Amino acid sequence: MLNDTDPYVILMTLVITFTCGLFIWSATPNQDTKHLSQIRYFSHFFFFTSFSWLFVFLRSMDWQQIYIFGTHICYLLSLLFLMNGFRIRANQKAIHVAWLLVLSAGFAYIQANILNDQQEDFIFRLLMTYVAWFLVAIMVVRSLRRERNSIGKTATSISLLFSLFALFVGVILLHQKVIIQFEYIVFSYNVFYITLFGSISSLMLSDEIARHQTDAETDPLTGLKNRRYFLERGEKLLQSGRRADFPMSIILCDIDRFKRINDTYGHSKGDEAIKKTTKILADNVRDDDLLARFGGEEFIALLPQTDLQAAMDVAERMRSRIEDSQIKVPNSSFNLTTSFGVVEMIGVDLEANIARADKALYAAKSHGRNRVEIARD
């Protein structure tokens, strides 16, 4: 029973769970609201778990009803925080903390009054624990079905399976009287905490990897893919296009007299011009097209299954809509214009085809700007 258990074992479990909570809380402090929200719930799971073990420690020295109640409410509240963390990851609405508290208090009161002495039924307590874990596992699995992070999804699934396996092994050891009842409880919980901490850490780590990869591939001002990503992805699209034997075209776009815009109206208006151009270009490409910011005021689009005439039509539509747009400045406004170079892909050398599009763009600039030109091979 509790009084026969080494209190240092309980304290060690308390320290482990609290440390896990601190690690998760402090690992990624400056992230978006959604990310911070799930970090808060996951860390609170470990914090309230450590509080429940604090009450267990107090119970081991002085069996009072308040300690029983505190143990159960902290334990149940921690499980509900865990469930909310996975709900947030799955873009589901979190259960309000007030409801968590009321629900936990209700269950804790019932458990504390049913299991109210040192001779409480161990099988019943074990059954309640299994039911709670089973319900949480269902919630987690349902949330993981919407999880886009494949690495974290796999890690969490393995964690749950490993936890269940450890519980099964613990039952065998308990049945063979290798360990006593409370040792089994501590063993089972620690396996659950450690594997869950590993899976949550895997989710966070893979989130960070994905975020850094996105940052490396994305232009921060426009949100478009950058030049490096375009060249890497464009090569793959070009190869697949050649295998499928369908036409592909490149559109190269440059904002006319962009330096004059910066010099006359300031860099903030130059950034606004880039953003407005970005939006118009993005509104006129398909989901399968690859659009990127290729340079300072230069943009590029790769259009699969698009021949030269179709690409020219797209470029002309872009040019016309950009020409109709305005940038407001104090007491006035100015119109944007852009020049376009368009080519249909020849061969499998992406950079050679980009050079052809650049020559077409240069021709558009030379012929007065605000126009679409094709490569004159």
Strands 248-255, 338-344: pairing is antiparallel
Nearest-angstrom CA–CA distance, 177 and 154: 34
Asked if 369 and 263 touch (Cβ cutoff 8 Å), the reply is no
Residue 285 tokens read as 């490409």
Task: Estimate to the nearest angstrom the gap between the alpha carbon of 310 and the chain centroid.
Answer: 37
Which is the catalytic residue, given 297, 316, 351, 373?
A: 297
297 is a catalytic site residue: yes
Q: What is the DSSP letter of 225?
A: B
Q: Tokens 């700007």 belong to which residue?
A: 369
First to last CA, the chain: 88
3-state helix vs strand vs coil in the chain, percent to 5: 70, 10, 20
Asked if 37 and 94 touch (Cβ cutoff 8 Å), the reply is yes
Which pairs from 227-235 meet CB under 8 Å and 24+ separation?
Answer: 227/292, 227/293, 227/294, 227/295, 229/292, 230/290, 230/292, 230/294, 230/300, 230/302, 231/350, 231/351, 233/290, 234/290, 234/302, 234/350, 235/350
Burial of 208 from C-beta contacts in 10 A (0-12 / 13-18 / 19+): middle
Catalytic site positions: 297
